[in-house]
Structure 1
Amino acid sequence: MSKVIEAVYENGVLKPMEKLNLKDGQRVRVMIVEKDFIQIAREIRMRLREKLRGKDLLKELIHERERFD
């Protein structure tokens, strides 16, 4: 399972901002991404959703691909 969550670093410990479905002692990998990057990615995603609202995403992607071929 892969999941992106937000966490706060306090006193040398990363504390998740939401409950995680993990067992005690379970090991996971953590990728550190600063919030600024995450916020930018969310804004881009929201703009894309607004731009493509009501459109067929597959047709739009094919159209974009054909423009660069």
Structure 2
Amino acid sequence: MFAEPDRAGYSTLVLEVADLDAQAARLLDAGIGHRGPQPGGGARIVQLQDPDGNRVVLASPLPGLSR
């Protein structure tokens, strides 16, 4: 098992998803609360926090934006 307890709570993970609304609903169904999809950085995002305080962001680019 890998662990770095000194760094816990200081990271951000961004995952791109194809269907943000479906993933947001799936999280709520699993009991993981959030504020719903919101605009952020040229995408729609759902922000979460893991038990150690790290930020987890699900993102779906806005239509028409090139990557």
Q: Which has the higher contact order (CA 8 A, sep 6+)?
A: 2
Shorter-chain TM-score: what band? under 0.3
More helix by share: 1
Structure with bigger gyration radius: 1
Report the structure, 1 or 2, having the larger strand content.
Answer: 2
